[in-house]
Structure 1
Amino acid sequence: MGLMKCPGPDALGTPLDAEPAYLSVLSYNLLAPAFVRPVDLRTGAVQPFAAFEWASTEDLEWDLRRKRLLKQLESWRADVICLQEVQFEASPDGSFLLPTWLQGLENYSACIPAEKYLTLIAERNERVLANRVAIGCAVLFRRDRLVQPDEEGLRGDPNTLVSACLQGCPESPLAALGKTAFFSVHLDAQSEEKRVEQLRKCLERARALGTRHVVFAGDLNTECRPGSCIAAFVSDEAPSDEDMVRECASALRIVGGEDGDDEVPVSSKETAGGDGEPSSEQLEQWRLLWQKAAQSRSEHRISLSRVPTGPTRSAYDHGKSEGPCVTWRLDHILHSSDTLQLHQLWTTLEADDAASASGLPNKENPSDHLPVAAVFQAISHHGRGFGV
């Protein structure tokens, strides 16, 4: 079943619990405080993408941002909240916990990364930023409306791919929602190949959890345009040659321009040629990667659609140290198209000219990304329900 033709988007921030029979999903990259203007030990300076030269010191102050973020999450009342760049708190025994301020959200339960992955990212941040902090994704869900059918097998997620297998509470307005795997994802900032492998791992994880019904929500670090390999997960249409060249060149130009999980010096990374065009070898590798992504849908028997959200990040362009700001469509919600029918979504930066021009965060928006949100109707398949 394809996407429902829904009315125009609601304004960002419209409460998501107005219609109890519908499932609401929110994704939000919070901008971890440790990632605001830190000195990178690899370069001895603040990386350009972390300098936020367009933002005021007040708008970057964590105490103020945290209060604004909590107020937003409390007022929106989403059924499922997929968060990225959560900065976890260390307990006295050294283990990591959901931060106290998020524990204050009433009636929500949380799924967080496995301890070993939080320890690894904390060690990496200590090496690179001289700050031993664990940062990663989390999935929060309303326990008055959703339940985990089986907690076994739900542990062990890496910090950038956190899952929660949920279904509607019996006798609740969401009772029609069968077993569905929700993922909060933060895909690699530099490598399309790594992004493809991360999404493939999510598909494998869903099948291991016993379902083909999924929601992937998060910062995908790609605009998901035709010709990108991530777009191949959601589109049956073959991209044009021009699309493939454009997206391959774009991905190669961005290499080294954002922070990644690896610690390889930028100078050692392969980039596009001096004319900005990928070589024939690079383009062939891109086509093979696109085909691998496209085949993932049939391989795992999972059909995905993308909620048509708009741009969510506004900043100086790649490689620029001054304005104007430009926008990118980096945050997305992908969902099973046969069991979740889109009912409504929020606007993004296309409806906020001021933020698009001035950059994020600002006084109204406490993160460098806008949130994205969607409301779905759960469709039960007669005769086979939500099985695998």
Structure 2
Amino acid sequence: MVYEIMMPQLSDSMEEGKLISWKVNIGDHVSVGDVMADVESDKAIMEVQSFKDGIVKELKLKEGDIAPVGTTIAVIDTSQKEERTPAKTERIDQPKAPQTQPTSIKQPSVIQPSSTISIAQIEGFASPKAKAVAAKYGLDIAKLQQKGQLPIPANEEAIEKAYRRRYFTPKALQWIARYHLSIDAFEKGKKHGEKEVLAYIEEHDIPLPKPLDPMHKAMITVVTESAQKPVYHIYDAIDVTVLKEYESEQRTVTVWLIKLIGEVMMHHESFRTTLKESGLQVWPNASISVAMADGEALYMPVFKDVNKKSIKEISKILKDFKEKVKSQRVLPDDLEGATFGISNLGMMGVVRFDALIYKDASGIAAIGSETEGKISITLTLDHRIINGYQAAEFMERLKVLAVDALFYKKGIEDV
């Protein structure tokens, strides 16, 4: 009996997943609950477990491969016992970038060797196709097999690898793989090093291919959908002189802003509203998504029910989310449930900017840097949910609460 492990659907929007790493090898014994692999969805990196005991028979994907949801990624033989595990396990090779030349890049004419070898002249144990490859590259299959440098019989892949090893340095091959270059772009029968490959890349102005991972694809989908919303902006600022008096390592500006905006949202239900096909939905509590990034990975984890949370609790949640973002272990549930958002680039010196509304939220506040005791706030609002008058009322209440010392004192007392 065999048990197939499929590419799981780790979120409602996930259509494909990227295999980050295998945690097992072919021949390993696995038990129920053992982690088989790490898979990257459109939201995070998560573990894939086995739900049956058995021996790993096949690993159908290489690390780095992307496959649709439902694709078989591994096969476990459930009829075997652990003692039948082979003594020597087979370690799967790391994937290599395809050795095909992008159609948009013109290859220079290749200098052909002065003499060529016909297929009929090729000796050794190999298929006709393999001999054709050997003739193309001028390799002697028989000699290489005698030296143990080719398997018996030899296939096309083994012959091309032998040619690569002979005529390209390891670093040269790394650059060729990284830029998806064809080895046929370089003169045959001549040793090629790293400098020559880099010079070729620069001379022909070749771009570095960078495939989109599932997270990046999901981000593109989200921002594209957000850009279609009928939005408008309100540009204002709030006085933070009182807030700064109560700032500390744990009680940061971001923590206080989450609490401030959450408190004001409880007085303005349109900021706790989402729009569905059936109509508007007003949520009872204030849940706010906060933009966080780690390199190219961007997340909007949700601080749920912040109106019920103390400053200490919000600070702890912020710290936990930062750790999750850094390790790319944000769960799908962490990204759901917000009706409003915050994006703070002020800490990086950005004076003012516009932010895109995340998913179904009614709006988002873009926080700029502090200037003369004030920080700029740009509200991006969905006009289908919040009108200009409601937005102005919200902003006015936020400015008043921001200078209310009693609000901050109570926040500290609740810790």
Short-chain TM bin: under 0.3
- Bigger radius of gyration among the two: 2
Provide the TM-score with structure 2 as the length reference: 0.22
After TM superposition, the score normalised by the length of structure 1 is 0.23
Larger % of helix: which?
2
